[in-house]
Structure 1
């Protein structure tokens, strides 16, 4: 569940410490998609990207602060993140020259002129706007604790107000602030807003300022009660706590638990108490309405949220940040201590210093930020894994970016030439269907890094997925328990293009999925999702190994310095999965005409097994033979239909003899015939149910929302949204037959519509994922390209295990299709430990 933040900042004169209406001079220098104006010309607003991980959010918030501070200081301006600034000249300040803001000034007069305040708003994606409306009211009694944590506005117009958050009192004078009411649906909530607009009290939906509100057009819920916070870590803390509160209430709604019964008048009183006291006084206990020391209530809330925070992997960071703020006290107390030492000037100096110091803060990060500005001109980092919007390195990419900066464009071009030479020496090529010559397999010189925080849960989740699919394949070809118990309808199996009668010949004791290739996508928020399961002839392990060898030649200094998984175990794990307790392993290929023949040769060499073509296979009463050697396991890198139709050494079709040997247990095919049933696109929609059914576990890695077009209701929705969705044939692979709605022309959409209506059962549709991007080196610059990730899972007698190599595939410019046959490329992938 992604979380994002909007922060508001005051612009002040660095010498006089007065609030100045100079935000417009900053905004002229800053990207409009991340920085914006507010009602007052003394306020700049920043908008973070939404993120799944709080550490990524922290990096983005720090980068935004860096951007606004860097633009302000050459102009003699300072940036303050606080609810109010103590030194203000109301007569010198003007609203932003915008018709909407000017109308607000005309309508609301002094109320608008005095809105010299800044807040921090947290947005959480709940996936459903009706749900957002339902939980908004339920959360109201929990918000005063968050207000107390953020309280940073004790001073107003040169004096101490006696409040920790005087901003709250200024803000509460608007007619649409305070606790939100109880609404049964988004439609009912929207009708209330229509009534308010019709009354003339407000002019548009943007003037709904409740303490918490559903978005007007997105399935998100927004926290609005908090002051702006001088320290980034406090903003990250608010984001983590609010998201956990949202998830807790979502669970309560799903389980049918009643909402807490706290009257709106009491909630208003609780908010007032939090604004008055901050962290230094008492808050009102939402459970029984009695006073309680703020730190006690906040620690109690933290304890109640622990299971949810642990579920989101937020517990360690959020508990650490909570301890820090409760030990050090809130911003209001720090400001009062500064005033006691040096008056209002020292208060502003404190706020300026705290806001500026935290431009570098991120959990576990040092103060230095690596920037590769020379090669990032015009770089779009809006969904990037490696680059923050200001050109600094994200997450684990600091060391890599340092190396890129040191090498520069000329040095990277030299590494590219070395890469090409090594590829030629290795014969690292592939062939596009329809072409009569081989190409060098496209490999970008800049590796992709998968952080340990991502890799560890992916390993567990993909092993879980393959284990359930293995059980399903055995069940589908034998007892069909899942169909009998209503987990999925019979047509999913009976009408699947991948269903093969030959699949029933595989013994129950055999492992059907020796190696799986699971395709994952990651969006800009950091959410991973399974896009496809490849259980027939998954390719890519060999190219992943070869990519690592290229990195060892062109970036040896980095490989020695970065703690990552080693691919040395990959071939051992693969060999163990293929052979088991058998002997006589051979890899079968269609031969040099195969586009992936390089990979077949490499794998056979690394596994130490013969590489054979169908014409080298023969049979006798003792089993299967290849060039005089007994074969008990055939690792096939050829489609099963092509293998079975191919002539053997005796000139006859291989199918009957091979399948007889499989049925007798004399030969194991890896992967087993009929596995196409398990990677059918229609079955994909049911995999979460299969995991719960066979394993009694919650799926650990999500899939992409999928619509089965044979269902009339789903089909109508797909037809209405064809330009928004991805349409796929259920038996397709390699990107063939796929229509990506947002990227398709009108003619392409019309053709897709005709094909769907002609054979609705052949198609599924999926929500379009905005793929994360990664830098590639091209024409002397770094450019963002969409990427996915193929992870390999092998199975032996110990169960499924993720192989410690993965293949990142890269889409061409302007495309989301990563397949090499359609112009895609690849990257070495560093899996962090």
Structure 2
């Protein structure tokens, strides 16, 4: 069974005002050496990472444990932890003290300065770079659906953006972000990466910000398209669906089935629509490339990966998780409902703090 691991970026917020606070260094100073808590681009953020897990139940336990540990450490530093992909309240972010981050700010200016946005990255094991690239080529049409499911960033600088995932728009400012064309082989993938680096535009290979890429450090594909999810159950659902996508794609490659030939233009439109609508409107259906209700697209994703999920043992969990998510709404829907009920973004942040470690 393929292992799967999760990296989540989370906000540190003031327990009274709900505004982000630049205290990541203080939080991390008290963590033990074996902790997976880490800094991020801005001092208002923390990152947690699970170990590779084959059983989704073990992954769920670890996501919850690390969220709880991070929340505990944050409280000791006088803050709270919030799984929000952007801050609902106004903020002027502070870059972390790190030579590479300082170089990012020098080169990319406001793009780096304003990049206080929290994503969820999912690693799924592959047997080789050849299999990994074959997977990347075949999961491209479905990545916008993962974004729609995870969308959790409707507010930016105290205003409703009209987007479900405004993080995806902020992230899209980086020159190497977004979907890519099919690579065809591992050799072509690595050649393309070297060609991009040779332009001198990117600092290093760590700035290969494709929606999905080969990991530089692990034998995995890394799917990077999602917002951080408000509730840990949705993170686990996202991981299960992503592993199902990877396994389905690998089986199609071994069976000699070609990838969808959709170009970057179509994929960018589908990604924009997913970030705009989330689960509240229509999405671009990856089988027809025409508009369809979000629920129909989500159910098509489940159908697409159901055989792999059944073989892995995650099908029942995925069905239950999707029913719960579609009934409750993703993070963007929850945040807007909270604002409509309370009329106060501080109250929205406070409830999201509670749900983050629930």
**Counterparts of 1:180 and 1:16, CA distance in 2:** 41
1:58 and 2:51 equivalent? no
CA distance in 2, matches of 1:337, 1:38: 29
2:308 alignment partner in structure 1: 308
Kept in 2: contact 1:229–1:235 (CA 8 A): yes
Deviation at 1:217, TM superposition (A): 4.0
**8 Å Cα contact 1:30/1:67 also seen in 2:** no
Once the two structures are TM-superposed, the CA of residue 180 in structure 1 deviates from its matched residue by 2.3
Q: Distance in 2 between matches of 1:328 and 1:259?
A: 34
Q: CA deviation at 1:85?
A: 1.2
Q: Which residue of 2 aligns with 1:130?
A: 130
Partner SS, residue 9 of structure 2? strand
Q: How does 1:211-222 map to 2 (within 5 A)?
A: 211-222=211-222
d(CA) in 1 for partners of 2:328, 2:69: 28
Whether the 8 Å contact between 1:137 and 1:179 is mirrored in structure 2 is no
Provide structure 1 residue ranges, at least 5 long, that are not aligned to the other structure: 358-833
Answer 1 or 2: higher relative contact order, Cα 8 Å, separation at least 6.
2
> Which whole-Å CA distance do the structure 2 matches of 1:320 and 1:326 have between them?
10
Distance 2:3 2:326 in 1: 26
Partners of 1:242 and 1:322 lie apart in 2 by 13
Contact 2:129 2:214 in 1 (8 A): yes
Quote how far apart the aligned CAs of 1:86 are: 1.1
Q: How does 1:102-113 map to 2 (within 5 A)?
A: 102-113=102-113
Distance 1:130 1:281 in 2: 37
1:44 to 36, 43, 46: 46
Question: Match of 2:191?
Answer: 191
Q: Is the 8 A contact 1:8 1:118 kept in 2?
A: yes
Q: Over alpha carbons, which structure has the higher Rg?
A: 1
Residues 46-92 of structure 1, C-alpha deviations (whole Å, 9 max, x = no match): 110111111000000111011111111122201011211111321xx
1:420-499 to structure 2, matched below 5 A, reads: none
Q: In structure 1, what is the equivalent of residue 5 of structure 2? A: 4
Matched, 1:248 2:248: yes
1:664-712, Cα deviation, whole Å (9 max, x unpaired) = xxxxxxxxxxxxxxxxxxxxxxxxxxxxxxxxxxxxxxxxxxxxxxxxx
Q: As a proportion of its length, which structure holds more helix? A: 2
Deviation per residue, 1:763-808 (Å, 9 max, x gap): xxxxxxxxxxxxxxxxxxxxxxxxxxxxxxxxxxxxxxxxxxxxxx
Counterpart residue number, 1:35: 37
| Counterpart position of 2:208 | 208
Q: Residues 734-782 of structure 1, C-alpha deviation per residue, up to 9 Å, x if partnerless?
A: xxxxxxxxxxxxxxxxxxxxxxxxxxxxxxxxxxxxxxxxxxxxxxxxx
Aligned residue among 76, 82, 86 for 2:88: 86
Aligned residues: 355
**1:209 match: secondary structure:** coil
For residue 271 of structure 1, give the secondary structure of its aligned residue in structure 2.
helix
Q: Does the CA-based 8 Å contact 1:154-1:164 persist in structure 2?
A: yes
Distance change >3 Å, CA 49–CA 288, structure 1 → 2: same
2:181 and 2:263 in contact (8 A); partners too = no
Deviation for aligned residue 1:182: 1.9
Cα deviation for residue 32 of structure 1 reads 4.8
Give 2:235's aligned residue.
Answer: 235
Q: Which moved more, 1:115-124 or 1:31-40?
A: 31-40
TM-score for both structures, normalised by structure 2: 0.97
* Matched residue SS, 1:223: strand
- For residues 111 and 309 of structure 1, the distance between their equivalents in structure 2, rounded to whole angstroms, comes to 39
C-alpha distance in structure 2 between counterparts of 1:218 and 1:332, whole Å: 32
Quote the residue 1:146 is aligned against. Answer: 146
- Quote the offset at 1:187 in angstroms: 2.9
- Residue in 1 aligned with 2:284? 284
Equivalent residue, structure 2, for 1:20: 21
Structure 2 unaligned blocks of 5 or more: none
CA distance in 1 between partners of 2:143 and 2:33 (Å)? 31
8 Å contact from structure 1 (residues 87, 157) kept in 2: yes
The answer as to whether partners of 1:122 and 1:222 remain within 8 angstroms in 2 is yes
CA distance in 2, matches of 1:101, 1:31: 24
